Amino acid sequence: MIRPMRRQDLPEILRIEKQIFTAPWNERAYREELENNPFAQLLVYEQDGRICGSCDLWILYEQAQIATLGVRPECQRQGIGQCLLSEMLRRAEAAGCETCSLEVRPSNAPALALYEKNGFIKAAVRKAYYSDNHEDAWLMIRPLGGKQDDSTAGTGNQL
């Protein structure tokens, strides 16, 4: 079941963060998202009372951005990441967003495969984006809804 994240979820979320990210968000970052970011929609995937994954979607007027997505190691490869991503795309589309974007490490093959499978394309490189190892990020983007004018799509350089 996918439901909104609550403050009481944070200890568990933070434990999972440390297992799956080299630069995990801390409690302050999550509380800021939960309590002070009016654009953020934080969701968890819960199974038998246990949090298996979570994500954070920003709805920024006509643009949506995936701020984070993660699945507990022992729950990976069971369709949960796909489920959370589909729910974020559904919400972004329902909110009338025209695009959804995200940043991902070029070294993160599982995430790249997931995003490419879901129609995201590499749009640009953000140089030295990650503070822990100064790795570049791919900016990936996916059109949503029916608002985009096809005649103007794809005129930029394909990286």
Cα dihedral 30, 135, 69, 143 sign: positive
Contact yes or no for 132/25 (Cβ under 8 A): no
Q: Is 115 an active-site residue?
A: yes
Residue closer to ligand COA (CB basis): 95 or 114: 114
Q: With binding defined as CB under 6 A, does residue 76 bind ligand COA?
A: yes
Q: From the candidates 46, 87, 103, 135, which is the catalytic residue? A: 103
Residues 6+ apart with CB under 8 A from 21: 70
Question: CA separation (Å) from 14 to 31, 43, 48, 101?
Answer: 11, 14, 19, 24
Spatial separation of the C-alpha atoms in residues 121 and 104, rounded to whole Å:
11
**Stretches 76-84, 93-101, 119-127, 143-151: which one binds ligand COA (CB under 6 A)?**
76-84
Q: Which of 59, 64, 89, 104 binds ligand COA (CB under 6 A)?
A: 104
Nearer Cβ to ligand COA (16/97): 16
Chain residues that interact with ligand COA, rule: CB under 6 A: 20-21, 69-71, 76-82, 104, 108-111, 113-114, 117
